[in-house]
Amino acid sequence: MPDKPSVLFVCVHNAGRSQMAAAWLTRLAGDRVEVRSAGSEPADTVNPAVVETMREVGIDISTETPKVLTIEAVQASDVCITMGCGDACPVFPGKRYLDWTLADPAGQDTAAVRPIRDQIKGLVEELIAEIAPSDPSGPAQAPRRPAAQAPPTSAPSPRA
């Protein structure tokens, strides 16, 4: 994997799943990963329910537009992740291909899109851990804080 890996997310319309995945990867990995998304049959606009559910988590994708899948986009990417587009993604040697099985948010309301959004976030977090883990000397994202614990009910433990 190069210093800055490149990921391409592909779904049929590039209006839902691939847009959410690209937005999550951009948010969570920052400049450690180059991010692309495209569709085999791109829609005219991003799904409004997808825009709204991403806004709920502080990510604005309202200005994104669906893009057509090109051979050049695949060639320029180290990892190509498909989401329900079948065999539409061209295959080139030396690329890594993953297929994420996700429900299609097309025609769904925000309540139905939220679990898809959250599932995509989890998959993106796993991908980041594998291809672009945080540099311990300067993580690109804020470190995770441990869950709050209840104060001890007895005397504190002796320090080592």
Catalytic residue numbers?
11, 85, 89
Tell me 68's DSSP state: B
Q: What is the DSSP string of 100-153?
A: ------TT--HHHHHHHHHHHHHHHHHHHHHHSPPPTTS-SSPPPPPPP-PPPS
- Cα separation, 145 vs 136, in Å, equals 15
Q: How many CB atoms lie within 10 A of CB 66?
A: 22
Which whole-number Å values give the CA distances from 103 to 8, 24, 89, in the listed order?
19, 17, 19
* Phi, psi dihedral angles at 34 (to 5 degrees): -90, 130
Beta-bridged to residue 10, according to DSSP, are: 38, 82
User: How many alpha carbons lie under 13 Å from residue 31 in its C-beta half-sphere?
Assistant: 1
